[in-house]
Structures are given as structure tokens and as C-alpha cells.
A and B are shown apart, each in its own frame.
Chain A
């Protein structure tokens, strides 16, 4: 009989489908009788989904201005003009 904690320990393999066959039946049996673990697995997976959707290219305007100035100072010249 698998406990909730034991299930939590192998969640990473469960959500990636990388779970051993002998554990799969134990997991299925556990999930069949534990709504908390069903919700736990679902929300673990949702955590991955929402984080993957975070923007990966945010540069606030005030940081961009400072960075441009710092790089121009290091290079000793202004950055090239944008594409014509």
C-alpha cells in the first residue's frame, strides 16, 4: 500500500510518464482512493504549465536605459543606429 508521501516522492517521474511498471499499479491503486493526491498531482503539473508560460524576455525601460548607457561607456561609443 503506497502512502501519500511515497507518491509525492515519485511525482516527478509520474508526470513525465517515466514510472516503473511495478510502481504504476501501486500509484493507480493509491490515486483510486485518494482525492488529495489526485489534486496534488494535478496542481504539481499546473505549476509546471504556468511557469513555462512566464515571459522570458522582459527588460524594463529603466533597466534598458541604464544598460545602454553602461555598454556605450564601456565601448567608448554609441550603439549602432537601429536598422534602416
Chain B
């Protein structure tokens, strides 16, 4: 037992390790959910302090674990609730961009992307993050958790206290709004 306990002690991360491992991920998630640095810092501080105070029961993991997503999402939603003065953009309906007969209101062009789509330049990353920040909050939360963080619809539904059908509907609308926002940047020039 003594041996086991010394191994556990050796594996227990230090505060510095927790900071380096998790602060960037918590901050990125909080920034995308809240849309500004000051709020993201507040949430990151709160979540990190919760983590640090529970170091004795903490098990280091390389991926951002679901419970840490949950902790960050809860802190971000609470933070947003407490700053009621800032308003969210009005909900836009992406499926309004069609004519009465159901056809596209304007031509849809293909996109030109670098062959290695991972190599997005800084300008493009900034543009994508700006488009995310401009999504209505109800859509943004679902979109960030699903398409940026890669969580499943059922997990997101539980985190946000929504039905899976509502998650799917919001995710679809968020993707359509994102597609429309990114299209002018990526569209191929018509010949």
C-alpha cells in the first residue's frame, strides 16, 4: 500500500503542471463560448482554482476530459447569466435564404481551400473565430461543443439541459450560418 501511495503521489500533478496542461484549453473553450478575453480569463481562473483545490483527487489525462468540459461550460454559462447587460445578436434564420419556390436565392459557388486544410493561416483562423463569435449564443454553445470540441450530441444535450433533437437543430442552423459567413472568403472566383 505504501508503494502504491508513493506512486500515486509521484503521479499527482503540480499546480504548475495543471496550469500548463489545462489553462490554454479551458481558456480557448471559454473564449469561444463567451466571445471576449476578460470573461474568458475570469472563467479560466475560476475553473483552474477548482481544479487546483481538488488536486489530491485529480488524475492527469492528456485529452480535455468530459467533466472538465462540463465544469468550464457551467462556469461560462453562469458568467454569461451574471452579465445580463450585454445582449446577444438576434437569432437569424439561415433557411430564409431561399425563394418562395424553395430554390436558392442566389448562386452557390464551390470553395477553394488549401490542399492541406489543417494549414489554415492566421487570417483565416481569425475569420473563423469571428464568425463563431457572431453566432447567436444559443447556436454558438452547441456549435463550439460539437464542431470545435468534438463532443457528441447526447453529451451536449446533458451539459446544456436540452433535448438531443434541440441540439441537432441548433447545430444544423449554426453550421448553415457559419457556411454562409465563410463563403465569401473561400468561394472560388467564377470564370
Closest to A9 in B: B95
- Cβ of A20 < 8 Å from any Cβ of B? no
- Cβ of B45 < 8 Å from any Cβ of A? yes
- Cβ of B52 < 8 Å from any Cβ of A? yes
Contacts of B102 in A (CB 8 A): 3-6
Segment with Cβ contacts to A, from B2-10, B75-83, B84-92, B173-181: B173-181
Is there contact, CB below 8 Å, between A47 and B175? yes
Q: Considering the chains assembled together, what is the distance between the CA atoms of A71 and B49 in angstroms?
A: 7
Shortest Cβ distance from residue B36 to the other chain A in the assembled complex, whole angstroms:
11
Q: Considering the chains assembled together, what is the distance between the CA atoms of A71 and B168 in angstroms?
A: 37
Q: How many residues of B contact A (CB 8 A)?
A: 56
Contacts of B64 in A (CB 8 A): 56
Is there contact, CB below 8 Å, between B118 and A11? no
Is there contact, CB below 8 Å, between B117 and A43? no
Q: Which of the listed residues A6, A40, A49, A51 has the most CB atoms from chain B within 10 Å of its own CB?
A: A51
Is there contact, CB below 8 Å, between B118 and A53? yes
Contacts of A3 in B (CB 8 A): 98, 101-103
Contacts of B16 in A (CB 8 A): 79-83
Q: 0/1 per residue, B18-54, Cβ < 8 Å to A?
A: 0110011101110000000100110011001100100
Contacts of B129 in A (CB 8 A): 54
- Cβ of B161 < 8 Å from any Cβ of A? no
Is there contact, CB below 8 Å, between A43 and B23? no
Shortest Cβ distance from residue A16 to the other chain B in the assembled complex, whole angstroms:
10
Is there contact, CB below 8 Å, between A43 and B28? no
Contacts of B149 in A (CB 8 A): 56
Is there contact, CB below 8 Å, between A43 and B98? no
Closest to A72 in B: B15
Q: Which of A48-84 contact B (CB under 8 A)?
A: 48-60, 63-64, 66-68, 70-71, 74-75, 79-83
Chain B interface (Cβ < 8 Å from any Cβ of A)? 14-17, 19-20, 23-25, 27-29, 37, 40-41, 44-45, 48-49, 52, 64, 95, 98, 101-104, 107-111, 113, 117-118, 120, 124-125, 128-129, 132, 143, 147-150, 168, 171-172, 175-176, 178-179, 182-183, 186
